[in-house]
Structure 1
């Protein structure tokens, strides 16, 4: 996502190179997905893939797949535009908000601590009878981020920013996580001092301090409006997932957990009230359970499916489809995947808690092999920093350099020997979809060359994120030692916060955290605070760079690849527009040829 329009301009200079690459990397307006003539209404958009989302509730949804899905039925105050020109996806746009608040229009106070947001008229819930989306629904949505049943991994963004949210969340954590009524009662009986519905159409935010990315935080799906009906169910529980409501163009008409979604028209949505979405297909059918990217690709090429849900184009298919109009490589600055160490694991005498052990292991990884696995240098480049190129705070560096990025197992063995931990066995869960198995096997072979045994275990994509690596109890119990998740920034532009804070702020390590390994460093935590209060983006970028260097020095993670998205559509897909935060096309804009 992105910044306010004025802030976005500063970030675009660093993105113009990406735009040029994007235009040359397949698709563009010449692709089969390009709009040709007026949109055709009707038909079923068929999407096929592997794993269910880890969270369907917008309060806790935090994966690319869930972003793509929830965008169809859950709207936020602000958002970003889907486009095949990367720079056009950066700026913050009004969604349910009537306009972008500025100092000039009275939406931002002189001290930059108070934001007043007015709602767009005509946005409605598909309730019986339909009713307007109100400011109170957005207050409820933000309060739900700290619910004890399924807390948001992104709540730290808002705790650090909105006045009084920290105390509200501490109190919420003491509520019974299995009692929906108690959870609703806490929300309804306690207020966040810095968040107020002045009336049905006006929200007022008071910030702890001025920050340059507050509007970006309000583009994230975490902050979607939540109707009062959600109080009846445990957040993200089985009942909740069967009773989602919609204020977007589609609604979930049928959900079969782990198997399928059927989206149909939300009858009360009106295009004139939604500047970011369209609606052309009559139905969207998402079929899950297909772990093989080769099988998904075959279905799309045959015309039995239209899009992949969570599978890239298979590496073996790339030479065949590179010149196909239906194929595109979309630029997606990311740290995807990266190797994370469970610093809280009790195995091996607590070896992974020691930076010198992690540094030794960092020397072993052959990034060049991983580039080949995902499709070659057109698709990915070796990454040696936490912050990827094209994002705020990036500075080229390679602390563990080897010629050709092939790794150095000999150096790994030498350094490991000095630590007194020569005999390591590491539990290594991996996602079963896409090329994650091949990536895990490649890293395991690198570690074996270093004298380290990696015990690989298959894990579904949804479970991998929702339970295996994001649960502190699992980490403390040693359910895993190393893993290879991926991270796509929550927004682009002035986005240093979204690359460092969620992954490495040790003060936010609790259930649902994306600081999977429990890394906690006083210096890094202090740099995060300093960057968030920096007077401008330039000063913040320098502080994010310092944090990156300290994290890399500690080898909290091993960055692996800056990887683009490889996408393929069926012949009948038209008007496919890329949505970076979803790592895929925006379903709402697609229309289908006859």
Structure 2
């Protein structure tokens, strides 16, 4: 693989834009910036958030998805994090959260060889237990160890098993523990240690890495590494009982949870603003209500004053033209691959046709991206995407291996290639998310495939089930319960973020329950490029490897990239101080306030 390495000016040009990730959709926000609301913040009131589906994971150990990130952030704190802002570039830098400061070589927090990190915790952060007690380094060790529990493991655990010394062996042993036995899970954690993870004392954490990792602080900003109190050992991770007994060290706590129906969050009485540099606390309560799949109905509720924010619904496409210029409306940057079409390469359907690269390559020509752009709001909201890595992310390079005229479909070429591959007729099971515009996107793709002689059988799948129980289940894939699906992927962080796209989606070694490598793609060359990127001496070299992995994945046609899509968002007239979190695709609930 060494002869394929991109060197010199080509890599420099590719990565030079990473310092300023604002890409083609910059400046699309409508009207005045809501953060500029006149007067000081006003405390009190109930923020009303309305949407479609509950989160697939409430436990931080397995939290994935923009909804989970936005919700868990208000009650579960990490060592590091990012700050919400309506300037995209201000949301990129890693900042201290429970950590007292950012570790550097200069302050002794990072060793000379870059393989040991020492993190000191700030004082005054407490759990809302009875009585309240300090959050300690031991709680962070427990939190990180929990992310590879057998009941609800974190789909991105490969980030850590490939980075923290001994984490791989620890997680391997955890797989043999009974996933339904909370006591057995707790016993394994308490009797086994991760070699590279140590609570030196209550306020000092030491991490030892297998190799230097320039993005290690980004990994420690993800919700999966949040501190976990010892009380969590009483429950199966992310189980029914756990979800009724969350404990908070953030500004809010869950006061009431009705699964699939609603959350009510109230103020955490032991949280102190002077211990939290990333969050604030203004509203008295936050109520999140589910069950509304129609973005038009959600939009109507917000405009008529019955709700304040949408939970998992962007602004409906039909409303965008009339909202331009309204300072309650904005188009916020979220450089992403959203949605993309993924193939189940492990299923038996059609005689295993989707396991053949030639079949997947043929289907690349089926999709009319220009129609999808219109469905989500036009070119100010989305651009056609032809690479795994979207613009504004490490390793991106514009290329199009399967071009079509005007970004439309080429059914003739699709048919010819399918016939050549020996599969002129296919019947594909196609589950789709029921919220937002996903049904319309699925119908458009279905119509495109029909032009190729492919019958797509649509099946409605709620947001909570779509990821957690359908496409991330190897059993469902192996049994052929689905053939194609259209998930989305927003990177877990921005900046030096090459591994936040390629590794979780395409590392074949991580395939298993809860994996985000939904189609079970596995190519030893791509796995090798991932390893090369992770061991690269600097971000620019790593970006070259990520780009090569992208090219190889597209040669294999593992997915059909569809759109690089921004997020359209609307707030009620009483919401002020709204600041955006790109990784949560929403406003930070802790920093806004209500004017009445």
TM value normalised by structure 1 = 0.97
SS in structure 1 opposite 2:383?
strand
1:145-165 Cα shifts (integer Å, max 9, x gaps): 111011110111000000001
2:77 maps to which residue?
A: 75
The residue correspondences of 1:113-132 to structure 2 (distance < 5 A) are 113-132=115-134
CA contact 1:135–1:202 (8 Å) conserved in 2: yes
Counterpart of 1:23? 27
CA pair 12-292 structure 1, distance change in 2 beyond 3 A: farther
Residue correspondence of structure 1 range 383-398 to structure 2 within 5 A: 383-398=385-400
- Per the alignment, residue 328 of structure 2 pairs with 326
Match for residue 547 of structure 1 among 544, 549, 558: 549
Per-residue deviation, 1:573:
0.3
Match of 2:538 among 522, 529, 536: 536
1-structure distance, mates of 2:547, 2:99? 34
> Do the aligned residues in 1 keep the contact of 2:337 with 2:390 (CA within 8 Å)?
yes
CA contact (8 A) 2:34 2:579 kept: no
1:331 Cα offset (Å): 1.0
Shift of 1:347: 0.7
Is the alpha carbon distance of 1:17 and 1:275 closer, same or farther for their aligned partners in structure 2, counting shifts above 3 Å? Answer: closer
The two structures have a TM-score, normalised by structure 2, of 0.97
Change (3 A) 1:396 1:591: same
1:451 match = 453
Question: 1:316-361 CA deviation, whole Å, 9 max, x = no partner?
Answer: 1111111111000001100000000000010100000011000001
* C-alpha distance in 2 between matches for 1:415 and 1:20: 34
Q: CA deviation at 1:12?
A: 8.2
Q: What is the match of residue 210 of structure 1? A: 212
Deviation >6 Å, runs of 4+: none
User: Which residue matches 1:7?
Assistant: none
Once the two structures are superposed, residues 450-485 of structure 1 have per-residue CA deviations (whole angstroms, 9 ceiling, x without a partner) of 000000000000110111000111110111000000
SS at 1:345 equivalent: coil
Aligned residue number for residue 4 of structure 1 = none
> What is the number of equivalent residue pairs in this alignment?
583
Q: Distance in 2 between matches of 1:498 and 1:421?
A: 35
**Deviation string, structure 1 residues 372-394 (Cα, Å, up to 9, x no partner):** 00000000000000000111100
Unaligned runs of 5+ in 1: 1-9
Measured in 2, the distance between the counterparts of 1:35 and 1:200 equals 41
Q: Which residue of 1 aligns with 2:466?
A: 464
Q: In the alignment, is residue 154 of structure 1 matched against residue 156 of structure 2?
A: yes
Superposed CA RMSD: 1.2
> For the Cα contact (< 8 Å) 1:22–1:85, is it kept in 2?
no
CA contact (8 A) 2:82 2:92 kept: yes
Q: Matches of 1:261 and 1:165 in 2, distance apart? A: 34
Q: For 1:418-450, what per-residue CA distance to the aligned partner results, in whole angstroms no more than 9, with x for missing partners?
A: 011112100000000000000000001000000
In structure 1, how many angstroms separate the alpha carbons of the residues matched to 2:271 and 2:539?
A: 38
- Structure 2: any 5+ residue segments left out of the alignment? 1-13
Matched, 1:201 2:203: yes
Give the secondary structure class of the aligned counterpart of 1:587.
coil
Secondary structure of 1:319's match? helix
Quote how far apart the aligned CAs of 1:407 are.
Answer: 1.8
**1:246 is aligned to 2:248:** yes
Aligned partners of 2:342 and 2:518 also within 8 Å: yes
Contact 1:470–1:513, Cα closer than 8 Å, also in 2: yes
Q: Structure 2: how far apart are the matches of 1:78 and 1:275?
A: 10
Distance in 1, Cα, partners of 2:215 & 2:411: 42
* 2:42 counterpart SS class: coil
Q: CA deviation at 1:16?
A: 3.5
Q: Contact 1:425–1:453 (CA<8 Å) still a contact in 2?
A: yes
In the other structure, the counterpart of 1:498 is: 500
Q: How does 1:302-313 map to 2 (within 5 A)?
A: 302-313=304-315
1:5 aligns with none
Distance 1:110 1:17, change over 3 A: closer
Does the C-alpha gap of structure 1 residues 311 and 33 become closer, same or farther in structure 2, counting only changes over 3 Å?
farther
CA contact (8 A) 1:33 1:326 kept: no
- Picking from 41, 44, 49, the partner of 1:42 is 44
Contact 1:489/1:581 (CA < 8 Å) preserved in 2? yes
User: Offset of 1:230 from its aligned partner?
Assistant: 0.2
SS in 2 for 1:110: coil
SS of corresponding position for 1:589: coil
Q: Partner of 1:280 in structure 2?
A: 282
In structure 1, what is the Cα distance between the partners aligned to 2:483 and 2:368? 19
CA drift at 1:211: 1.1
Contact 2:82 2:91 in 1 (8 A): yes
Q: Write the distance in 2 (CA, Å) between the matches of 1:113 and 1:144.
A: 23
Aligned pair partner of 1:261 in 256, 263, 269 = 263
CA distance, structure 2, for counterparts of residue 11 and residue 53 of structure 1: 34
Q: How does 1:169-180 map to 2 (within 5 A)?
A: 169-180=171-182
Classify 1:465/1:408 alpha carbon distance in 2 versus 1 (closer, same or farther; 3 Å). same
Tell me how far apart the structure 1 counterparts of residues 340 and 374 of structure 2 sit (CA, whole Å): 16
The counterpart of 2:223, out of the listed 221, 224, 233, is 221
Contact 1:139 1:196 (C-alpha < 8 Å) held by counterparts: yes
Q: Is the 8 A contact 1:89 1:580 kept in 2?
A: yes
